[in-house]
Amino acid sequence: MALDVKTMPVFDADNHMYETPDALLRHLPERYKGKLKFIEVERRTLVATQNRIIDYIPNPPFTVVAGPGKFIKYFAADNPEGLTLREMAGDPIRPPASFRDDPAARLALMDTQRVDQTFVYPTLANLVEQGVEADPELTHAIIHALNQWMHETWSFDYQGRIFAAPVITLGIVEEAIKELDWLLEHGARVLLMRPAPPEGYKGHRSFGLPEFDPFWSRVQDSGLPVCIHAAQSIIEPYIQLWEPNDSANAFAASAFKRIASGHRDIEDAVTSLVCHGTLTRFPGLRFATVENGTEWVPTLMERMERAYRQTPNMFPEEPISVIKRNFWFHPFWEDNLRGLVDHVGVDRVMFGSDFPHPEGLVEPRDYFDHLAGISDDEIKLIMRDNALTFLGAPA
């Protein structure tokens, strides 16, 4: 019997909320409030921290946003007119409550969209850590304030269908463990982190090094999965060496930056967890790469396999088996899905729509239109069951 894609349940592993400015400020301790501000600059509201404007997100209050799926032609590499992303966005919309701070409204929208369950990630978290990481104490304070707002506004498990993902920052290991314990006490089901070496008192360090083991041990014991979601790139200073630019605006990158940036952040994050031995010391950890695309996966696996054949004594464990054991992958709709499945196994691939961001799909179930060459049994795994396995819930 053919699969009925109109009725089968789906688990969307990549949804977002547009937080209100209150998300960063409501619970921020008084001693830190002067270090993070929303300020007006030429009729635009931007985030400023430590006397520096962060323009990675052009409209962080999200009073108006580009509609869902507005950038589809760009990501389909179908832009012969040479439109900018701003031109593609067209007329902005005012995000409804279901996008911002009303999980009941979001659930009603999901019913209309026929989406059964979803991970929902904050959007402002994209700019926080990169902007304030030089002050680890401030970074932890802002992240905790955001997590408090998220729990208070969305909860971390809304009716077993919406799983808001709180953020973990690792600059100070003891503070990260303290935050993890608070999240566990408040019902978190999934964790969110960025693909970047955290900055602590010793400077930047790979989170795969043994000094972070007390945290990863606690995560493994908790059973919580970890989503490594794309964020403002850590390699921005390197790009600036080639092409000095005063702006880090995510939607106004040059041709050079788009090509040179590639997927370096997520590749290095995965490599650090494998090569620095975290996943050998803690084989029960579950990671997903979310909104990082997957075109880089085959190439990285090939490089790892070659390096292992050259110097197997330099690896704590055979790397390809580690990747297939510990990682799940979220491919963009425009990625080579068949190729990814063949490289990592169909049980490690999860669907995500990036709704309601303009980079994503207009409607989550539009993903079904991009499953050519995928069997019915594989579709069931990709569109729902794998995300449940990653979450640690029965399929």
Q: Compute the average pLDDT of residues 382-391.
A: 98
Whether 212 maps to a domain, the answer reads yes
**pLDDT score recorded for residue 316:** 96
More confident residue, 102 or 59: 102
Average pLDDT over residues 212-219: 98
Which pLDDT score, from 0 to 100, does residue 395 have?
Answer: 64
- Whether 347 is in a domain gets the answer yes
Q: Which domain holds residue 305?
A: 11-19+96-391
Q: What is the pLDDT of residue 82?
A: 87
CATH code of the domain in which 329 resides: 3.20.20.140
Q: How many domains does the chain have?
A: 1
Quick check: is 202 in a domain?
A: yes
300 in a domain, yes or no? yes
1-5, 310-314, 331-335, 346-350: least confidently modelled range: 1-5
60 falls within a domain: no
- Residue 314 covered by a domain: yes
pLDDT (0 to 100) of residue 89: 87
pLDDT in tens, 174-183: 999 999 999 9
**3-state SS record for the chain:** CCCCCCCCCCEEEEEECCCCCHHHHCCCCHHHHHHEEEEEECCEEEEEECCEEECCCCCCCCCCECCCCCCHHHHCCCCCCCCCHHHHHCCCECCCHHHHCCHHHHHHHHHHHCCCEEEEECCCHHHHHHHHCCCHHHHHHHHHHHHHHHHHHCCCCECCCEEECCECCCCCHHHHHHHHHHHHHCCCCCEEECCCCCEECCEECCCCCHHHHHHHHHHHHHCCCEEEECCCCCCHHHHHHHCCCCCCCCCCCCHHHHHHHCCHHHHHHHHHHHHCCHHHHCCCCCEEEECCCCCCHHHHHHHHHHHHHHCHHHCCCCHHHHHHHHEEECCCCCCCHHHHHHHHCHHHECCCCCECCCCCCCCHHHHHHHCCCCCHHHHHHHHHHHHHHHHCCCC
pLDDT band at 185 (very low <50, low <70, confident <90, very high): very high
233 within some domain:
yes
Per the model's pLDDT, the better-predicted residue between 77 and 94 turns out to be 94
Q: Is residue 273 part of a domain?
A: yes
Mean pLDDT of 352-380: 95
Please report which confidence band the pLDDT of residue 252 belongs to, taking 50, 70 and 90 as the band edges: low
**209: pLDDT strictly greater than 90:** yes
**pLDDT tens, residue by residue, 298-334:** 999 999 999 999 999 999 999 999 999 999 999 999 9
